Amino acid sequence: MKVTLSALNTSESSFTPLVVIELAQDVKEETKEWLKNRIIAKKKDGGAQLLFRPLLNKYEQETLENQNLYLVGASKIRMLLGAEAVGLVKECNDNTMRAFTYRTRQNFKGFDDNNDDFLTMAECQFIIKHELENLRAKDEKMIPGYPQAKLYPGKSLLRRLLTSGIVIQVFPLHDDEALKKLEDTWYTRFALKYQPIDSIRGYFGETIALYFGFLEYFTFALIPMAVIGLPYYLFVWEDYDKYVIFASFNLIWSTVILEVWKRGCANMTYRWGTLLMKRKFEEPRPGFHGVLGINPITGKEEPLYPSYKRQLRIYLVSLPFVCLCLYFSLYVMMIYFDLEVWALGLHENSGSEWTSVLLYVPSIIYAIVIEIMNRLYRYAAEFLTSWENHRLESAYQNHLILKVLVFNFLNCFASLFYIAFVLKDMKLLRQSLATLLITSQILNQIVESLLPYWLQRKHGVRVKRKMQALKADIDATLYEHVILEKEMGTYLGTFDDYLELFLQFGYVSLFSCVYPLAAAFAVLNNFTEVNSDALKMCRVFKRPFSEPSASIGVWQLAFETMSVISVVTNCALIGMSPQVNAIFPESKADLILIVVAVEHALLALKFILAFAIPDKPRHIQVKLARLEFESLEALKQQQMKLVTENLKEEPKESGKEKAT
């Protein structure tokens, strides 16, 4: 029998605050009361059946600053029923992974009626977010007190409140005790050790944990390249004939590491349960707008927007804009080469030590300009992708990632391709690659972690001084905690972090045979990146909501595409090497044909390797197949039960007819 919320008592006199809702300062009282009632109302009445209270009581509001901050939590029973509603998968006592149900809760490992640790805090916050986002308008035509904030049946109330500026932000709270434990095992004690990925997942959720897992895996995967590259750099620095072997190793390495990662990722996500979570039908993203109508698939009332209008926006506006940006990037690149010629000419004329240092200045300036252009283009790409008006968040993310990757790839690598295959200057290629790689790594560390951390520390000192100055006979610990966190920056997701690794992978896989130290510098950067990113997550940004993930998503395809491009690049570099050219001193056509043939053969080998290495380990495949079989058997038994019940009812009905 299915357990319903209305049949259970989910109220508590006090609760642990998990999520904070900040309202605008001038929000009307009737709006606050309406929102409160919708959040605490029972599910059968269209509410979320959550616990809700203001951060400050009336006396505290008079003593402290009047803040429109509200705390949201839930009872233990409500959380368990929410876990069933969102489809969380947990480990059973028989070591299998199954979707959690409240009725069979005793069958799950670690469950106890007195145990509050069965659901992680990240999972609890995800459940609350899910329930808040699924608060739907019923018969309201507008937000009470705000006639301009229109509603229609089925519209997400939280999304309308956010877009109307009534709700400023919704964020999950940090748990100081759990955070301190995580920091102690993660980054505060510097040591060469594995990251506590399971603990990161328990605190931040699967999406963040998968990023740090991939960062750690990629760093260790770079070590063989670094170990081979270091002696190669020391002993054959000027001998370009030898880079054929290094390039060949590069081709196999870039394929194998991505395939092995998929297997490791499947292991992790199966253990966490997200590999088995069923995809739910995607709701329209918050920024999606259109004429109100009926969705032909769901039958629900929602905004409808013709796809042809979206396609016109993409092909007539977005595509030309991206092409214009790519042209501008190439124009800046040519200015950089003019500066290189100028610096080289100056050095040849004077020959002093100062001018030899000047040779690196154009590359450093160009690397800084590249970073600035990448960031400015990112804002433009976000605006354009939002303007295209994609219905689904996944479609929005895919179009945004495509725009950003195309520009970043050309912006970061066009100069290297030009030097390698047009100028054919391997010395300049080595110098440019080293400068771009090192400068971008330093800038990213400063902009992404050190600068935000310094600003956050300054803000924290100001808040603590303000709290000490208050002469209030109350416990303001929770108040200070919330005020500190609400002013923190918002973590915008793993996009920039994966993009940084993607570009790093490009530097290593495309041209590292010319500059073998690229992998070594990448390893050194990533060891510090782990700590700086951990610091950023724990102390700089608000705690992000947990998001269940089964993989790194579209980034897997992006890395695999880069590895295919690296095959072409490395084959071309091998074909250009003096060692290979010496074999074909007269016939360049034969050389080109052989290089193309080798490239096709290596691509074929690459795809064979990708096919031969299964994405999921054998034991995971067996477990997934067994679960699918059990689901089919259960469905079959249910259908047989219905048929049997119908057959039993038929004789009774025929008997009644005869009597009549």
Coil, strand or helix: which one is 293?
Answer: strand
Q: What is the CA radius of gyration of the chain?
A: 30
Q: How many CB atoms lie within 10 A of CB 297?
A: 7
What's the whole-number mean pLDDT along residues 498-506?
A: 90
- Distance, in Å, from the CA atom of 204 to the CA atom of 223, rounded to the nearest integer, reads 28
- Share the mean pLDDT of the chain: 82
pLDDT tens digits for range 184-197:
888 876 656 788 99
Predicted confidence at residue 317, as pLDDT, reads: 92
- Distance, in Å, from the CA atom of 243 to the CA atom of 426, rounded to the nearest integer, reads 11
Predicted confidence at residue 324, as pLDDT, reads: 95
Query: Of all residues in the chain, what percent carry a pLDDT higher than 70?
Result: 85
- Distance, in Å, from the CA atom of 200 to the CA atom of 183, rounded to the nearest integer, reads 10
- Residue 573 pLDDT class (50, 70, 90 cuts): confident
- Residue 5 pLDDT class (50, 70, 90 cuts): very low
- Distance, in Å, from the CA atom of 203 to the CA atom of 506, rounded to the nearest integer, reads 31
Structure token pair of residue 601: 């053969």
Predicted confidence at residue 1, as pLDDT, reads: 41
Instruction: Note whether 241 and 578 are within 8 A (CB).
Output: yes
- Distance, in Å, from the CA atom of 250 to the CA atom of 569, rounded to the nearest integer, reads 11
- Distance, in Å, from the CA atom of 270 to the CA atom of 263, rounded to the nearest integer, reads 11
Q: Is the dihedral of CA 569, 573, 576, 581 positive or negative?
A: negative
Predicted confidence at residue 361, as pLDDT, reads: 83
- Distance, in Å, from the CA atom of 525 to the CA atom of 158, rounded to the nearest integer, reads 40
Q: Which amino acid is at 435?
A: T
- Distance, in Å, from the CA atom of 220 to the CA atom of 527, rounded to the nearest integer, reads 10
What is the per-residue burial (b if ≥16 Cβ within 10 Å, else e) of 220-241? ebbeebbebbeebeeeeeeebe
- Residue 575 pLDDT class (50, 70, 90 cuts): confident
Predicted confidence at residue 459, as pLDDT, reads: 61
Predicted confidence at residue 496, as pLDDT, reads: 86
Instruction: Note whether 218 and 257 are within 8 A (CB).
Output: yes
Structure token pair of residue 227: 């170990």
Report which of 207, 213, 142 is spatially closest to residue 550, judged by C-alpha positions: 207
Burial of 288 (0-12, 13-18, 19+ CB in 10 A): buried
Coil, strand or helix: which one is 282?
Answer: coil
- Distance, in Å, from the CA atom of 541 to the CA atom of 539, rounded to the nearest integer, reads 6
- Distance, in Å, from the CA atom of 639 to the CA atom of 220, rounded to the nearest integer, reads 51
Percent helix, strand, coil in the chain, to 5, is 65, 5, 25
Coil, strand or helix: which one is 553?
Answer: coil
| 649 or 470, which is more confident | 649
- Where in the chain are the domains? 19-87+114-173, 183-305+389-618
What is the per-residue burial (b if ≥16 Cβ within 10 Å, else e) of 591-613? beeebeebbeebbeebeeebeee
Predicted confidence at residue 216, as pLDDT, reads: 93
What's the predicted TM-score (pTM) here? 0.85
- Specify the pairing of strand 291-294 against strand 142-143: unpaired
Helix (H) or strand (E) run with residue 642 in it = helix 618-659
Does the pLDDT at position 489 exceed 80? yes
Instruction: Note whether 360 and 343 are within 8 A (CB).
Output: no
547's CB contacts (< 8 A; 6+ apart) are 126, 205, 206, 207
**Highest mean pLDDT: which of 56-70, 113-127, 373-387?**
373-387
Predicted confidence at residue 545, as pLDDT, reads: 92
User: How would DSSP label each residue in 565-584?
Assistant: HHHHHHHHHHHHSHHHHTTS
Does the pLDDT at position 103 exceed 60? yes
Query: In Å, what is the CA distance from 153 to each residue of 45, 137, 489?
Result: 14, 5, 34
What's the whole-number mean pLDDT along residues 237-241?
A: 52
- Distance, in Å, from the CA atom of 38 to the CA atom of 15, rounded to the nearest integer, reads 18
State how far Cα 326 lies from the chain centre. Answer: 26
Structure token pair of residue 272: 């966490």
Does the pLDDT at position 492 exceed 80? yes
Report which of 522, 345, 340, 525 is spatially closest to residue 416, judged by C-alpha positions: 340
Query: In Å, what is the CA distance from 98 to each residue of 64, 90, 451, 626?
Result: 48, 6, 44, 12
- Distance, in Å, from the CA atom of 468 to the CA atom of 476, rounded to the nearest integer, reads 10
Does the pLDDT at position 83 exceed 80? yes
Report which of 322, 309, 468, 347 is spatially closest to residue 403, judged by C-alpha positions: 322
| 468 or 484, which is more confident | 484
- Furthest-apart CA pair in the chain: how many Å? 119
- Residue 319 pLDDT class (50, 70, 90 cuts): very high
Backbone angles phi, psi at 51, to 5 degrees: -95, 140
**Highest mean pLDDT: which of 145-149, 169-173, 246-250, 421-425?**
169-173
- Distance, in Å, from the CA atom of 530 to the CA atom of 222, rounded to the nearest integer, reads 15
Does the pLDDT at position 12 exceed 60? no
- Residue 326 pLDDT class (50, 70, 90 cuts): very high
612's CB contacts (< 8 A; 6+ apart) are none
Does the pLDDT at position 298 exceed 70? no
- Distance, in Å, from the CA atom of 396 to the CA atom of 310, rounded to the nearest integer, reads 12
Does the pLDDT at position 7 exceed 50? no
Structure token pair of residue 110: 């670690």
